[in-house]
Structure 1
């Protein structure tokens, strides 16, 4: 089982000028600890599960570029990009740039977007749900074309691109596309048709969601086993020894279901002891699962 560090909270009791060095240290520690990937949210305000909207939040792709400069091996992605926040041609260019400057470590995490409050607050485009899913499917096609070629035009229902020129090309032989979400009719079908990875929330229905994905794969002629299964998981306070044992037990259960990557946020991330626990105990044991 590979582990991902999800950085979703930047409210660490620091002033704005202290955030950059703290984040750089966290990135280096995560890289050296053996995490497979580091992710951030694509939000411009903090979301309710982590705190009030007034809490600190950094723009996702600027942050990933910063993280690229302070790491050497972890993959870098959002969990997940709101498709309507950026035109897909520009989004593909942004992710390609991240891939080039990180020397092949970028992933595109993407979803249909949901946060209407921040969108209305900052004037971001936020159409009805049906249209957001239409735009998501079209963006998936556009991004894959811009990553892999061939260069050409795209004329769709929502997007028109006269020329999908994208130089330099990505360094990675294939920039992986991860789709976040567990909607059974659309999201998981899009995973079967377009994605390299899915990302689901841990919960009592998670095995059922995998069965739905398997059914969609059969319907579209996709090999279910070639899709990387990833899960959002909360590590909690891992400096507690009992919690470490619990985390490893729960990760083993997720691995038995077929998940190969757990992305998670941790408490006390600004404390160096937290990532040291991952380095010394959790990541070595998870690798055996």
Structure 2
């Protein structure tokens, strides 16, 4: 009993310092929780995709006057298709994605939606492993003026109505028909658009060059087949040989071009800012 009495007296005499200690402890715990939450957020980056370890990103390397540049995320438009065509035993799917041609807003009538939108080909969802809830992207995204919406954006635009068959506008330039809905992606993912427009909508209007001679403005990804053990160095050496077969021969004396692949999750985690954090 005396010990309890002494403890109570000590607490009462030092209640000012006790409040400071409790506040300090609370702040420390709060900061620890926030830090651990941030680490968990970063470490789970891109795990929203199906089998993310099978997804690799394509990078371009330009050599000009003998100086080899650093790998860049923007590629010539036909590269992804060439990879899929030349590595059928290893590669299951490949996709070409354009962001700059889809910067404009979407409209449902006069209501404006400035949500993140991309243009992509018909293998977008298969390559990245994104769940499609309605529609057939393999067929529909081969058609021009077609759009797939995330379920999140579909609810914003149409509420409880079925969005399939609805017509919306891209930047008041294109009339797009909604042909599908897919599961919305979280913030901690490399590419998480709210709408995917068929890239043939741009090709059919000559909005950008679609050749080996220019137009290096495209993000591209490939998915390896299940069970394939990827030796990145050997694959990149084979890929370089394949790319050379497609490049125009004119003007190759002073410059050259090749592509390499990197595991998608390593691209983000290898960023200097992320590594420092």
TM-score between the two structures when normalised by the length of structure 2: 0.28
The structure that has the greater radius of gyration is: 2
Highest RCO, 1 vs 2 (Cα 8 Å, sep ≥ 6):
2
TM-score (norm 1): 0.27
- Hey, which of these two has a bigger chunk of strand by percent? 2
